[in-house]
Protein backbone atom coordinates (compact mmCIF):
# COMPACT_ATOMS: atom_id res chain seq x y z
CA UNK A 1 0.00 0.00 0.00
CA UNK A 2 2.80 2.41 0.89
CA UNK A 3 4.56 1.64 -2.40
CA UNK A 4 1.40 2.56 -4.30
CA UNK A 5 1.25 5.96 -2.63
CA UNK A 6 4.97 6.51 -3.15
CA UNK A 7 4.62 5.67 -6.85
CA UNK A 8 1.59 7.94 -7.12
CA UNK A 9 3.48 10.77 -5.42
CA UNK A 10 6.40 10.38 -7.87
CA UNK A 11 3.99 10.60 -10.79
CA UNK A 12 2.29 13.68 -9.38
CA UNK A 13 5.56 15.48 -8.65
CA UNK A 14 7.69 14.40 -11.61
CA UNK A 15 5.03 13.65 -14.20
CA UNK A 16 4.85 10.66 -16.49
CA UNK A 17 8.55 10.73 -17.37
CA UNK A 18 9.66 11.18 -13.78
CA UNK A 19 10.77 7.62 -13.18
CA UNK A 20 12.89 7.67 -16.33
CA UNK A 21 14.52 10.91 -15.19
CA UNK A 22 15.29 9.48 -11.76
CA UNK A 23 16.71 6.30 -13.33
CA UNK A 24 18.92 8.41 -15.59
CA UNK A 25 20.22 10.36 -12.60
CA UNK A 26 21.10 7.15 -10.73
CA UNK A 27 22.78 5.70 -13.82
CA UNK A 28 24.79 8.88 -14.32
CA UNK A 29 26.01 8.78 -10.72
CA UNK A 30 27.07 5.14 -11.21
CA UNK A 31 28.81 5.86 -14.52
CA UNK A 32 30.83 8.73 -13.08
CA UNK A 33 31.72 6.98 -9.81
CA UNK A 34 35.42 7.21 -8.89
CA UNK A 35 36.05 3.47 -8.84
CA UNK A 36 34.39 0.06 -9.04
CA UNK A 37 33.65 -0.10 -5.32
CA UNK A 38 31.91 3.28 -5.35
CA UNK A 39 29.90 2.27 -8.44
CA UNK A 40 28.84 -0.99 -6.78
CA UNK A 41 27.85 0.85 -3.58
CA UNK A 42 25.73 3.31 -5.56
CA UNK A 43 24.13 0.50 -7.56
CA UNK A 44 23.17 -1.27 -4.33
CA UNK A 45 21.43 1.93 -3.15
CA UNK A 46 19.21 2.22 -6.25
CA UNK A 47 15.55 1.97 -5.22
CA UNK A 48 13.87 -1.32 -6.15
CA UNK A 49 11.29 0.36 -8.39
CA UNK A 50 14.01 2.04 -10.47
CA UNK A 51 16.42 -0.90 -10.69
CA UNK A 52 15.08 -2.23 -14.03
CA UNK A 53 15.32 1.16 -15.73
CA UNK A 54 18.81 1.77 -14.35
CA UNK A 55 19.92 -1.68 -15.58
CA UNK A 56 18.61 -0.87 -19.05
CA UNK A 57 20.42 2.48 -19.17
CA UNK A 58 23.69 0.91 -17.99
CA UNK A 59 23.38 -1.84 -20.64
CA UNK A 60 22.88 0.80 -23.33
CA UNK A 61 26.01 2.62 -22.16
CA UNK A 62 28.02 -0.60 -22.28
CA UNK A 63 30.87 -1.70 -20.06
CA UNK A 64 28.76 -2.25 -16.96
CA UNK A 65 27.94 -5.94 -17.39
CA UNK A 66 30.17 -6.71 -14.38
CA UNK A 67 27.86 -4.60 -12.24
CA UNK A 68 24.48 -5.74 -13.54
CA UNK A 69 25.35 -9.40 -13.33
Tell me how many domains the chain contains. 1
The answer to whether residue 21 scores a pLDDT higher than 90 is no
Q: Which residue has the higher pLDDT, 37 or 2?
A: 37
Q: Find how far residue 20's CA is from the centre of its chain.
A: 8
Residue-range definition of the domain harbouring residue 20: 2-68
Mean residue pLDDT of the chain comes to: 87
Query: The whole model's pTM is what?
Result: 0.75
Looking at residue 16, its pLDDT comes to 67
User: What letters, b where the CB count within 10 A reaches 16 and e where it falls short, cover 34-69?
Assistant: eeeeebeebbeebeeebeebbbebbeeeeebeebee
Amino acid sequence: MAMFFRSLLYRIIFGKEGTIMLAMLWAQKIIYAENEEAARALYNRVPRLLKAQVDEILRECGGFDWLIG
